[in-house]
A and B are shown apart, each in its own frame.
Chain A
Amino acid sequence: MVPVEYYLILSAILFSIGVLGVIIRRNAIVLFLCIELMLNAVNLTFIAFGRYLNSIDGQVFVLIVMTVAAAEVAVGLGIIVALFHSKETTSVDDINLLKG
């Protein structure tokens, strides 16, 4: 059996890629993909621990996270489309309406 550390390392790498993507990239859709990547890295951790601890709880959590992520994608993509309609751009650096 593959040791749990391998899963955790993989998931940490995936999560870090996601974080870096969110901070470095400008395209809102890529940003979104990175967020999904982070979520799935967390999912992987859940699954790994669930298997390691012989508990079903991890898988239950993953299902909930996936549901929330699906809903979030629906809303998030809607916002991006609306932004593109009004601003003709998907670059998050051009969108600073909440500037204090």
Chain B
Amino acid sequence: MRRTLQLAAIGTAAGAFSGLFGVGGGTIIVPLLVFWLAFGEREATGTSMAAIVLIAAYAVVLQATYGNVEPADAALVGVPAIGGAIAGTALQQRLPERAISGLFAVLLVVIAVELIVP
């Protein structure tokens, strides 16, 4: 029960941050799974991906009601990105888990700089 509540809290936080900043929930989900539920890095990133499918789907439905979604643009980045995701997950299996934490820290610093610089 406690675990379910923790997962619910992570989902709510991820949704709130994506509603606030337009960042995908992954930046919040991965560290919370690691630090709060003691997931290993690989498990945290894999599980985050399943959550992101639903979060992004909600957000697209919301955006579509405002008529903002352009499928041709999505395909332009999304089709090559599918190849990138297959390569990225394969590369991840060859890295030590702690290296994934280190790279994630770099990603968060980049996001922080983007937010601070107007």
The answer to whether A and B come from one shared complex is no
Q: Which residues of B contact A (CB under 8 A)?
A: none
Q: Which residues of A contact B (CB under 8 A)?
A: none
